[in-house]
Amino acid sequence: MKNILMLMAVVLLSACNAPKPESSQDDAANPLLVDSALPYGLPPFDEIKNEHFAPAFDQAMAEHSAEIETIATNPEPPNFENVFVEMERAGQRLNYVARVFFNLNGTHTNEAMQAVQREYAPKLSAHSDAILLNPELFARVEAVYLDRDNRDLDAESRRLVEETYKDFVRAGAQLSEQNQSRLKAINAELAQLGTEFSQKVLAEVNDSAVVFDDVEMLAGLSEARIETAAAEAASRGLDEGQYVITLLNTSGQPPLSAMTNRQARERLHQASLARGTRGNDNDTRAIVSKIATLRAERAALLGYDSHADYALEVQTAGSVDRINDLHANVGPIASANAQKEGEVLQAMINATADEPFELASWDWAFYTEQVRQERFDFDEAEVRPYFEMDNVLKNGVFYSAEKLFGITFKERTDLPKYHPDTRIWEVFEADGSPIGLFITDFYARSSKRGGAWMNSYQVYSGLLGGAPVVGNHLNVPKPPEGEPTLLTWDEVVTMFHEFGHAAHGLLTDVRYPSFSGTSVPRDFVEYPSQVYEMWADWPEVLENYAIHYETGEPIPKALLDRVMEAALFNEGFRTTEYLAASVLDFELHQLTADEVPGPDELADFEAAVLRKYDMDYAPVPPRYRPAYFSHSMGGYSAGYYSYFWAEVLDADSVLWIKENGGLDRATGDHFRNTILANGGSQEAMALYEQFAGRIPGIEPLLERRGLLESND
């Protein structure tokens, strides 16, 4: 049984199908408390209102508590069926309500929903603790666990016993009553602080948008992008002739690559870097410090040296030392490559600027594009017309999925949406049998959190049945009405990446809901999605979607070659900005409660950590700084390294796929049957070895990122 608080994470690891309990007449007015009549249990988004969530949470928690009490007080001797299977069946309504609420709160929130989140985050924490710290329930769990060798359990059932027991122990089931009391208080406060942090980050990214009073400051941006900036200013009630550039949650901002005015670039970039540290109502530094302190205290209560040790115990990496070694070995190599790239950029500045200046972080993206144009004859604006969003989705992502897995997609315009910009697709097997629904939500908006992610509204399991309903979310700027949505190459790759997560959710085939879909270790969940990125530039796939939106001509091979060559030029930067954020997250979570820096010490902590790993190179700031590092303060605490760790597996897998058939059903079905279908029902690395037949090394990744030469 997964902790109910995991439903609050971006990737929802606990899963079960739509609610089944009987409904009363009063419940019938609340669409969250009755079975959805829509296909695949799709939530009735058109009927759900803000006022439905609080009573739905109240009733769902009460029902779940009653179900758990029945299991805990069952007079029959404990066995696998009456303890573990019944816990898997319990809480169906609560999982459904929580899944709908937290997904909508991330994709299209409002003040009323945020108020519900603030109220119910600590309540859900207390509810989870009441289950995991229930002594009668734990006694029954432990009895079966200790006798598991004498019970006739298949591999997946045995894993459920072992993983559930581990969940209880890690939640504090073996602590003294006094320590459990303190643990409950910590969990409740962390839930409240996590909610406050996420809401402040969203508010701050909206409030930090940069207003320009002169269109000349936006020189270099496309006419469509300038129109979007004008429309954003108008939507905020500003005067005609003013322009607003909104921010993404990363440190770097896409417009920086095109803006020719250096002063404008500096304003935009400094606004991005200052988020959460401006001393206003959205300053998050005190929250960051408090969360890290409480996590460290909780880890110590549970017998761990640090929160990082606690987190790594259940990850494929296995130990803190292994990740520290990874950071120490690769960080300096990446930084050295970034500095070499910086020298090239500085030379470009010296050769082209009227008055040469020293390269700064707000210059990096712009002069990278200048170097790419000169060295590779590459211009991002030349490429984007070949990447029209709908074409990339249908003839790229969907096409590759059909080639690999035989699955097809049909748009359902008859089903309700939570926002007009979303689309819903029905998914079918090769034989025409239905799989589930796939929701796409690609445009940025102020009510949506930053980044890109996948989530689930429903999942399949053999025990409970049901069908998967999953969503993919990007934050692509929406063009003016009537204009095509043209993607950057990075956005194309991100779309393929997120579909890799969706495939993990759609193609799951496990017995127990706790193992369904993406219910895998955090540092393995990114692996299938990173593998799926390879199909973005696979020749057969590219030929099918990289079509000029006006002329219908395919992208010239010479232009595509330049795209790939140009992308490798900036690998030092890309690796450094990512690893810089990764070490900040990991180092913060290795501290004891007494060592955690205070709000005013976070900047010094950041500088010291970057010096420690030879990544204190000012032109390349971390991809996220602590004050707006949602991964670190959320579900990826001590786990941002996961993307790099998963890429080790990904790079080796790409080699295997190229050696064993490439884009065909045999390859796709092998990946589906060994990785995707199994979810978390087996050890992650056992699944990998089952797929590839070998243990991966780091060399393929270093070669891919152009880092091997610097390692000699």
Q: 221 and 158 in one domain?
A: no
3-state secondary structure of 302: coil
In this prediction, residue 28 has a pLDDT band, given cuts at 50, 70 and 90, of: low
Ranking 23-27, 101-105, 259-263, 559-563 by mean pLDDT, the lowest is 23-27
Cα–Cα separations (whole angstroms), residue 613 to 11, 627, 639, 703: 30, 20, 18, 21
Mark which of 221, 244, 273 sits at the end of a domain. Answer: 273
Note whether residue 281 is domain-resident: no
Whichever domain contains 139, its CATH number is 1.10.1370.40
- The pLDDT score that the predictor gives to residue 450 is 84
Tell me: do 393 and 497 sit in the same domain: yes
Structure tokens at 613: 């790993």
What is the Cα–Cα distance from 65 to 257, expressed in whole angstroms? Answer: 53
**Residues 226-232: what's their mean pLDDT?**
94
- Decide if pLDDT at 20 tops 80: no
Average pLDDT, the chain: 93
Q: What is the pLDDT of residue 9?
A: 40
CA 411 to mean position of chain CA atoms: 25
Instruction: Provide the pLDDT for residue 566.
Output: 79
Q: Is residue 12 assigned to a domain?
A: yes
- Tell me: the pLDDT tens digits for 620-655? 999 999 999 999 999 899 999 999 888 889 999 999
What beta strand segments (E) does 175-225 contain?
210-212
Same domain, 153 and 255: no
pLDDT of residue 6: 44
Same domain, yes or no: 138 and 217: no
Distance CA 84, CA 157 (A): 9
Residue 53 forms part of a structural domain: yes
Which tokens go with 587?
A: 């180092």
Q: Are residues 227 and 165 in the same domain?
A: no
* pTM across the whole model: 0.89
> Domain total for the chain?
3
Residues 409, 525: one domain? yes
Between 126-140, 144-158, 405-419, 688-702, the lowest mean confidence (pLDDT) is in: 688-702
Domain end, chosen from 273, 297, 317, is at 273
Give the pLDDT score at 696: 84
Report the C-alpha gap between 81 and 105 in whole angstroms. Answer: 35
Instruction: Please tell me the predicted confidence (pLDDT) of residue 569.
Output: 83
Give residue 24's pLDDT. Answer: 47
Q: Which DSSP letter does residue 488 get?
A: -
| pLDDT confidence of residue 219 | 97
Is residue 342 in a domain? no
Sheet holding 434-443, edge to edge: 408-411, 423-428, 434-443, 469-476, 453-458
Tens-place pLDDT, residues 247-304: 988 999 999 999 999 999 999 999 999 999 999 999 999 999 999 999 999 999 999 9
pLDDT at 5 over 60: no
318: alpha, beta or left? (left if phi > 0; alpha if psi -120 to 50): left
Query: What band does 14 get if pLDDT is binned at 50, 70 and 90?
Result: very low
**One domain, residues 420 and 549:** yes
Q: Which residues, in sequence order, are CB contacts of 372 under 8 Å at separation 6+?
A: 378, 379, 566, 569
| List of residues 6+ apart from 371 with CB closer than 8 A | 344, 345, 348, 569
Q: How far is CA 242 from the centre of its chain?
A: 34
* 636 close to 307: Cβ distance less than 8 angstroms: no
For 445-503, how does the pLDDT look when each residue is reduced to its tens digit (9 = 90+)? 999 998 899 999 999 999 999 999 999 999 999 998 899 999 999 999 999 999 999 99
pLDDT of 665 above 70 = yes
Q: Quick check: is 542 in a domain?
A: yes
Query: How far is C-alpha 340 from the chain's CA centre?
Result: 31
pLDDT 10s digits, 461-475: 999 999 999 999 999
Per-residue model confidence (pLDDT) at position 90: 98
**Structural domain includes residue 20:** yes
Pick from 193, 184, 199, 48: which is nearest to 121 by CA?
A: 193
CB 42 within 8 A of CB 426: no
Same domain for 226 and 117: no
Confidence band of 695 (pLDDT split at 50, 70, 90): confident
- Residue 372 within a domain: no
How large is the average pLDDT for residues 221-232? 93
pLDDT recorded at residue 348: 96
**Which residues span the domain enclosing 441?**
385-569
The whole-angstrom separation of Cα 412 and Cα 135 is 48
Handedness of CA 680, 686, 689, 695 (dihedral sign): positive
Q: pLDDT-derived band of residue 89, with 50, 70 and 90 as boundaries?
A: very high
Give yes or no for residue 318 having a pLDDT over 90: no
Distance CA 401, CA 396 (A): 9
Percentage of the chain exceeding pLDDT 90: 86
458 contacts 469 by C-beta, under 8 angstroms: yes
489: left (phi over 0), alpha (psi -120 to 50) or beta: alpha
pLDDT at 709: 55
Residue 382: predicted pLDDT: 87
What are the residues whose beta carbons fall under 8 Å from the beta carbon of 68, sequence distance 6 or more? 87, 90, 91, 131, 134, 137
> What does the pLDDT average to over 659-687?
96
The pLDDT, as a whole number, for residue 25 is: 45
Do both 539 and 406 map to the same domain?
yes
Q: Distance between CA atoms of 202 and 356, rounded to whole angstroms? A: 37
Q: Which of 196, 204, 491, 498 is catalytic?
A: 498
In this structure, the strands spanning 408-411 and 434-443 are unpaired
Respond yes or no: is residue 689 known to be catalytic.
no
Return contacts of 408-415, CB within 8 angstroms, 24+ apart. 409/438, 412/39, 412/437, 415/38, 415/39, 415/42
Using the 8-state DSSP alphabet, how is residue 39 labeled? G
For the chain, state the CA radius of gyration.
25
Give the separation between CA 342 and CA 361, rounded to whole angstroms: 10
Q: What is the pLDDT of residues 548-605, one digit of tens each?
A: 999 999 999 888 888 878 777 888 999 999 999 999 999 999 999 999 999 999 999 9
* End-to-end alpha carbon distance in the chain: 48
Last residue of a domain, one of 248, 273, 298: 273
In a shared domain, residues 214 and 164 = no
Q: Which pLDDT score is estimated for 560? A: 83
Q: Average pLDDT of 401-412?
A: 98
Q: What is the 3-state secondary structure (H, E, C) of 573-596?
A: HHHHHHHHHHHHHHHHCCCCCCCC
- Please tell me the distance from the alpha carbon of residue 398 to that of residue 390, in angstroms, as a whole number: 11
| Cβ atoms 245, 255 nearer than 8 A | yes
7 or 273, which is more confident: 273
72, amino acid identity = A
For the residues 506-513, what does the mean pLDDT come to? 98
The pLDDT score that the predictor gives to residue 11 is 32
Q: Do 152 and 240 reside in the same domain of the chain? A: no
* Confidence at residue 1, expressed as pLDDT on a 0 to 100 scale: 56
Q: Based on the domain organization, do 214 and 114 belong to the same domain?
A: no
> Are 479 and 125 contacting, i.e. CB atoms less than 8 angstroms apart?
no
Q: Is pLDDT at 389 greater than 50 in this prediction?
A: yes
Determine, yes or no, domain membership for 397. Answer: yes
The mean per-residue pLDDT over the stretch 697-711 comes to 71
